[in-house]
Amino acid sequence: MSDDNLVEIKDLDFAYDDRPILKGISMQIPRGKVVAIMGGSGCGKTTLLRLIGGQLKPSRGEVLVDGLSVPKLRHDELYDLRRRMGMLFQFGALFTDISVFDNVAYQMREHTDLPEELIRDLVLLKLNAVGLRGADQLMPAELSGGMARRVALARAISLDPMLIMYDEPFAGLDPISLGVIGQLIRKLNDALGATSIMVTHDIQESLQIVDYIYFMSDGKVVAMGTPDEIRASQHPFVHQFVFAQADGPVPFHYPAKPLVEELLGKAAHERA
């Protein structure tokens, strides 16, 4: 594994029972960079994050994080590695019965022996970084969607992780909140010296903040490149995705019989 890459995925296959999900995936995630993984729903993006985090094991291939083979780690070794990872779940996934403060403090209390006075200071620093220090005593139900996502981001960086993974961080956000979250992802990654992997459908916001993009389709990497390279790509699927075209390699119509045949019968269709 190259020292320049924090994460390397090599010739990876994964299937649920007999249903292939990922087919020969290879990726390199450089240290200190923000990398996006894009593609249509069901193409295996979130599954890839679960493989990196060790929730799933590949059918074939390698998943290396900081030089460690994730599928080969013992239980205690895997949890040691996960303590150096942060995760922003889709829609935030805050603990609903505890305050904003306690959500951010949760990992500090679980995984460190820090005194409560120091935890308080660290939590307020993390919340200040996302602009919500004054909301520390609110409950998740009292937050807007954008605020909840920012609290979830503060929780994801609570232990200063080397790797931060984002599962659809922009889903359901208004344009202002979306822009705020995008800029926070970029600024916090750089401030922490971390590496970020972002699974997202939001092409326009992502192109403004990421360093590199992998496009997936049908369980395979079909294109990769910098934002400028992706904008200029002539690959049919990438072009359709970037410019939000209704028809292309991903068809508008679900496969069906010709409409005339469906309405008037096969004989009428043949005459037509």
Same domain, 17 and 73: yes
Tell me whether residue 132 is in a domain: yes
Q: Do 9 and 77 have their domain in common? A: yes
Query: Is the pTM here over 0.95, yes or no?
Result: no
**Quick check: is 21 in a domain?**
yes
Q: Are residues 142 and 128 located together in one domain of the fold?
A: yes
Q: Are residues 71 and 1 in the same domain?
A: yes
Q: What is the CATH number of the domain that holds 173?
A: 3.40.50.300
Q: Is there a single domain that holds both residue 261 and residue 134? A: no
Range of 135's domain? 100-160
Q: Which of 160, 177, 197 is the last residue of a domain?
A: 160
151/179 same-domain check: no
C-alpha distances out from residue 248 to 138, 244, 245, 257, Å: 46, 10, 7, 19
Q: Are residues 65 and 197 in the same domain?
A: yes
Q: Is residue 95 part of a domain?
A: no
Residue 119 covered by a domain: yes
Whether residue 222 sits in one domain with residue 197: yes
In a domain? residue 6: yes
- Is 94 domain-assigned? no
Same domain, 108 and 11: no
Average pLDDT per block of 10 residues along the chain, 272 residues long: 83 85 90 88 80 90 92 91 87 85 91 91 92 90 88 90 89 82 89 90 80 87 85 72 63 71 68 59
Answer yes or no: do 173 and 79 share one domain. yes
pLDDT number for residue 1: 57
Residue 89 lies in a domain: no
Asked if 50 and 173 sit in the same domain, the reply is yes
Q: Are residues 156 and 116 in the same domain?
A: yes
In a domain, 165, yes or no: yes
Query: Domains in the chain: how many in total?
Result: 3
Which pair of structure tokens corresponds to residue 8?
């390397």
